[in-house]
Chains A and B, each alone.
Chain A
Amino acid sequence: RKEVEQDPGPFNVPEGATVAFNCTYSNSASQSFFWYRQDCRKEPKLLMSVYSSGNEDGRFTAQLNRASQYISLLIRDSKLSDSATYLCVVTPRYYGGSQGNLIFGKGTKLSVKP
């Protein structure tokens, strides 16, 4: 089982639609959670961190359910500029060795059409 699994996609939606991305992680000791955005042939960029209490940034809402080991990202009123691949990311708990590395899901591609 992969450490981080995401909806395979792609998602093709019209402008103004609401779209939800789902992600599950296998290591219950995972420490931190993020959504990154990656444009075609570019580097990943942090979109938002994800907290247990849920957090919102404009049209974007992220949720974390530690009991279910589930992370979500909701985009409301989608724009053409939201077209990108969305990567779910977790970090492992520090055990004194390898730490701080980001574990990425495969990503879900979103295309927003006019």
Chain B
Amino acid sequence: ETGVTQSPTHLIKTRGQQVTLRCSSQSGHNTVSWYQQALGQGPQFIFQYYREEENGRGNFPPRFSGLQFPNYSSELNVNALELDDSALYLCASSPGAAYTLTYEQYFGPGTRLTVT
């Protein structure tokens, strides 16, 4: 167990709705990254938060947004859900400072989102 938890485990939403996914990072970790993993694909980087600030973003539209809280837990919000948003959403926490180049990321179990 990595100590990274995510909620909910599974979620079913309708196209056009909004969703909030939550992540609690491992104790002592100040950096959280979010990834989207579609079926049969590798995870794709959405964005990263370091000490409550966004610290990098992948190729995802603005309807994907996030927050990090003072306790370093994090939320991923997706507005105007589309069918293609159906995927496993993974968060990963890490202990490194924002500008550490090599550090291990510890993944949570993920939230499986289905959009119908």
Contact = CB atoms under 8 A, between A and B. Distances in A.
Interface residues of A, number: 24
Interface residues of B, number: 31
B103 A100 contact: yes
Given A100-B48, A102-B43, A46 B90 contact: no
Contacts of A32: 101-102
18 contacts: A32-B101, A42-B109, A43-B2, A43-B108, A45-B107, A46-B104, A91-B102, A94-B101, A98-B48, A98-B56, A98-B58, A99-B56, A100-B31, A100-B100, A101-B33, A101-B58, A102-B105, A107-B41
B73 interface: no
B33 A106 contact: no
Contact of A100 (B2, B41, B90, B94): B94
B36 to A, nearest CB: 11
Given A43-B107, A43-B110, A99-B56, A104 B101 contact: no
A107 B101 contact: no
B42 A105 contact: yes
A58 interface: no
Contacts of B48: 98, 100-101
Contacts of B58: 98, 101
Nearest to B42: A104
A91 B105 CA distance: 11
A4 B48 CA distance: 20
A100 B58 CA distance: 11
B83 interface: no
B19 to A, nearest CB: 19
Interface string A30-59: 011000000000111110010000000000
Interface string B15-57: 0000000000000000101010000111111001000000111
A80 B46 CA distance: 34
B45 A103 contact: yes
A87 interface: yes
A95 B102 CA distance: 14
Contacts of B2: 43
Interface in B67-116: 90, 92, 94, 96, 98-105, 107-110
